[in-house]
Amino acid sequence: MNVDPLPESDVEVFRWHRTQYLGLGHSRRHHDTSLSWYLVVPRDMNVDPLPESDVEVFRWHRTQYLGLGHSSQMQQRRKKNCAKMMALHLSRPFPSLPTPYRSSAKSRPSVYPNISCFVPHHHHSSKCRKEYTSVMIVPTGVGATIGGFAGDALPVARALSSVVDCLITHPNVLNAAMLYWPMPNVLYVEGYALDRFAEGFWGLKPVLQNKVGLVLDAGIEEELQIRHLQVADAARASLGLPVVECIVTDTPLKVEKWVDPKTGQSTGRIRNPDSLLQAVQTLINQAQVNAIAVVGRFPDDDVDDIDDYRQGMGIDILAGVEAVISHLLVKEFQIPCAHAPAMLPLPLTQYLSPKSAAEEIGYTFLPCVLAGLSNAPQYLVKNSKSLEKSCILANDVDSVILPIDACGGDGALAFATRKRNKPLIIAVEENETVLNDTPDMLGIEVIKVANYWEAIGVIAAHKAGINPNSLRRNRINNLRCTSAVLANGTAVSSAATPIT
């Protein structure tokens, strides 16, 4: 009888056993009822019970063999002599393993599917279910207690990304100045684009890589400009990021910032927007970039004006005008964009909140922006011919998580008022802002949670197809029947009795 040579590796021997066994044409029934093993064991000898796990059966074979007094050297000597016996006397069937199958002329192919026992079963079953997509929103410049500082909502995004299949969020959540954390299932979407996506006007097309162009404000001093060029070079050399071209605006942008006295939000403007638009257009035409990083020269603040922010309180007075800049470019060019402010380093202080510390460990806020833009999804207008099936649309979103009093933004309202495929809206009470756009005031149906711990638990339950209320005490009420209406319009009353 022709059989393949016996391998040296124990694991390969295990695979060899099964391949030879099935190659000899044994049926599943014969395999299942074969209770002997490849050693010649007297029937009256006590051996350990056969385990259930396939891998443990292999270990069981070896343990029982050595337990009979055979040494490892004897085992090696008997391998050749026992080859045919091993092939005939496997104790139970195993799923086919992805090893080359070489059948002899008299053997017939295996009827078992080629499934690797080393891959978890859920990897195969994932093809049979919809991917779960969540959107995380923390508005910019509104003094959010979590996400209103230097990337302090990033831990929430990291935790959430481990639960969902795809997380869509924006730079205010993911940017942490000199710090950034790559997450392969997170989409870095600028705020204006996120609103258009939520409204159903734009789709998101995931990419492997973007060609990033860098725009520097002509108002940046030479030394500070060099610092930012060095950041770009470091990102290219050390991280391999695709920053392909840099341009300096023809005139200073003249960034201005302030806090809106009515809303308490930070906002601002740039005096020379045309200079910025021209620089971006030049990069697109000459270098074919499809993502833009902007560094604008911001006015240096008095230490007293930002003391609260440095201590983890108050509002980020830079964030509002940063959003104005990125919104302008995304609206005009419909490509990913993010902004990093250029300022002189602040004087050292011992009284610095950890939430604000990321902005004081270097000369620039640019690293996180370049990292995020390097593989940010492209934006496609929904009614255009270029919209592809692989794009992510608002209909694909399963849940939205946002602060309890920040539900009035364009994106949040668009998700909350959808007629079809409405996502689960989760409002986090612990994350307060200066806004007062609560679900109750807006008439929005949400699930209120105390903190992000609870929010992630709700999302985990929702992803599993479980009513989140069933995880709480006394949150499931009795099911009641409603009245039915006959074809002639007569109402048939039904007793409102609980169904058991």
Chain centroid, CA 199 distance in Å: 22
* Residue 306: predicted pLDDT: 72
- φ, ψ dihedrals at 47, nearest 5°: -130, 160
Query: To 10 degrees, what angle do helices 72-81 and 54-67 make?
Result: 110
pLDDT at res. 66: 54
How far is it, in rounded angstroms, from Cα 98 to Cα 117? 9
Burial class of 452 by CB neighbour count within 10 A (0 to 12, 13 to 18, 19+): buried
Q: How far is CA 102 from the centre of its chain?
A: 42
> Residues with Cβ < 8 Å from 487, sequence gap 6 or more?
none
pLDDT of residue 15: 59
Largest CA distance in the chain: 95
Confidence at residue 311, expressed as pLDDT on a 0 to 100 scale = 74
Write down how long the chain is: 500
What confidence score (pLDDT) does residue 301 get? Answer: 72
Residue 47: exposed, middle, or buried by beta-carbon count in 10 A (0-12, 13-18, 19+)? middle
Closest CA to 322 of 381, 257, 418, 383: 257
Nearest to 203 by CA among 442, 400, 471, 392: 392
Backbone torsions φ then ψ of 20, nearest 5 degrees = -65, -40
Q: Which two tokens stand for residue 96?
A: 């086919």
Q: In the 8-state DSSP scheme, what is residue 176?
A: B
d(CA 462, CA 477): 19
Tell me the C-alpha distance between 364 and 359, whole Å.
8
What distance in Å separates the CA atoms of residue 455 and residue 447, rounded to the nearest whole number?
A: 9
Q: Cα 169 to the chain's mean position, in Å?
A: 10
pTM for the model stands at: 0.71
- The pLDDT value recorded for residue 241 is 95
How many whole angstroms separate alpha carbon 225 and alpha carbon 243?
16
**pLDDT, averaged in runs of 10, over the chain (500 residues):** 57 56 49 42 51 57 54 50 43 41 42 38 58 96 90 95 97 91 95 97 96 97 94 95 96 94 92 97 97 94 68 82 96 97 81 76 88 96 68 96 96 94 96 95 95 97 93 86 71 48
Which element (helix H / strand E) includes 227?
helix 222-238
Question: ∠ CA(452), CA(455), CA(459), 5° rounding?
Answer: 140
| Residue 338: per-residue pLDDT | 96
- In whole angstroms, give the CA distance from residue 120 to residue 130: 18
pLDDT at 291: 98
| One-character DSSP codes across 454-469 | HHHHHHHHHHTT--GG
Backbone conformation region of residue 147, classed left if phi is above 0, alpha if psi is from -120 to 50, else beta:
left
DSSP string, 426-456: EEESSS--S--B-HHHHT---EEESSHHHHH
pLDDT attached to residue 146: 94
